[in-house]
Amino acid sequence: MKIWNSNPAWPWPCDEEIAKYLDVPDYYLAGYEEVRGFLRGLHKGRIESAGKSAGGRDLTVVYCGPDAPERTLCVTGGTHGTEVEGVAAVVNTIRVLDCGSDLRGQAWPALTEVARRVGFYLMPFFNPDAAARAVVKSYVGMPFEVVNHLHVGFWKNGRTLDRKRVFGPWTPESDLTGKLDRVGYLGARYNDAGADINRPCSRTEATAVETRQMLEYLRQRRVDCYLDMHSHSTDPWLGICPPEHTSGNHGDLVKLQQLTREKTVQAGGPDLKLVVKGTRTWFNSHFFPANLGIYALTYEEKAGFKGNFPEETPPEEIWLANVYNGMRTILGLAQALLEVPSPWS
């Protein structure tokens, strides 16, 4: 199988100055190698592995919580390499549960309290191949056409991949497997084998090796709930699959979604828009409930690229919102999870 040779260098000539997208606050920890270094310094978090990426990188998970939790929650960031907001939120959540405060030194007593009852499986990078391929640490202020070029990738002739094909329902043309010799830059949606990591083919099949391994990881640990963290141009929202895409209790999933919205607001987070994703496309947050009957949700944060926030908004304000909106949603979901039955019961 041909594997992409990741080379984290600015991939094409343009007017953008890359240095300004590398200068981020210390608490906005989202770079692949920096996060790996951070994880090596943990005090209490238990390092586990869900397997290996297509490029041979470890699918690292940190477990924080009691030995016999009442509920378990798995949170993944970095499904797409340009969507670093979720990575920063997951890393700061790990820091709180490991040391009692986030990377800014702020304590989160409600989060540490719920971790006495809920076990957290926290995965900064669900797609470590794309994370290692990323050339910047932040997309705050970046023009959308540049973000899009990095996100979906482009052919050697310079043309960007067809967004309808990239974002639509899976077809044999959706992945880039077998086409890597024609690729100029492999987009952030793909692992090193060219598989779109968030688009299972169907209820029973996923081309991405990471998704297949995660399915088994969740099954073996009998994880109650899975949260996949993303970002784009909308205000924060929380999505679930339709009834047809779960073998579990969809009514309990709807209740969990509603409770999470309430508790996120109570924690000082955003008033999340609640979404039920359609049946035409399979996502990881559909694939896992279909096969395991567990709860699964997608969180979408408002990304900081140019045009999403007023021009005068200080970057610091955007970085803080990105991190803390995600953390408060994780907190709200963990609290809500204690008020619905375990899908394994």
The CATH number for 106's domain is: 3.40.630.10
| Residue 61, beta-bridge partner list | 48
| pLDDT of res. 69 | 98
Query: φ, ψ for residue 40 (rounded to 5)?
Result: -70, -15
Decide if 327 contacts 111 (C-beta within 8 A): yes
| pLDDT of res. 160 | 86
| pLDDT of res. 157 | 87
The model's pLDDT over 290-301, given as tens digits with 9 standing for 90+, comes to: 999 999 999 999
Domain that holds residue 203: 18-65+81-138+193-294+310-337
Distance of alpha carbon 29 from alpha carbon 314, whole angstroms: 18
Does 215 reside within a domain? Answer: yes
Name the pTM for this structure. Answer: 0.96
The model's pLDDT over 150-188, given as tens digits with 9 standing for 90+, comes to: 999 888 888 888 877 788 788 888 889 889 999 988 989
Smallest Cα–Cα separation from 26: which of 103, 96, 92, 87?
A: 103
Burial of 57-85, coded b for 16+ CB within 10 Å and e otherwise, reads: bebbbbbbbeeebebbbbbbbbbbbbbbb
Does 76 reside within a domain? Answer: no
Distance of alpha carbon 129 from alpha carbon 135, whole angstroms: 12
Q: Structural domain tally of the chain?
A: 1
Q: Which two tokens stand for residue 340?
A: 């619905």
Does 58 reside within a domain? Answer: yes
| pLDDT of res. 1 | 47
Decide if 127 contacts 81 (C-beta within 8 A): yes
| pLDDT of res. 106 | 98
Does 211 reside within a domain? Answer: yes
Distance of alpha carbon 102 from alpha carbon 72, whole angstroms: 21
Q: Which amino acid is at 206?
A: A
Concatenated DSSP letters for 16-61? Answer: --GGGGT---TT----HHHHHHHHHT-SSPEEEEEEE-TTS-EEEE
Does 188 reside within a domain? Answer: no
| pLDDT of res. 121 | 98
Does 179 reside within a domain? Answer: no
Largest pairwise CA distance in the chain: 56
Does 289 reside within a domain? Answer: yes
3-state DSSP call for residue 273?
A: strand
Does 305 reside within a domain? Answer: no
Smallest Cα–Cα separation from 87: which of 328, 326, 314, 275?
A: 326
Which residues, given as ranges, of the chain have pLDDT below 50?
1
Decide if 281 contacts 174 (C-beta within 8 A): no
Distance of alpha carbon 228 from alpha carbon 127, whole angstroms: 12
Distance of alpha carbon 112 from alpha carbon 89, whole angstroms: 15
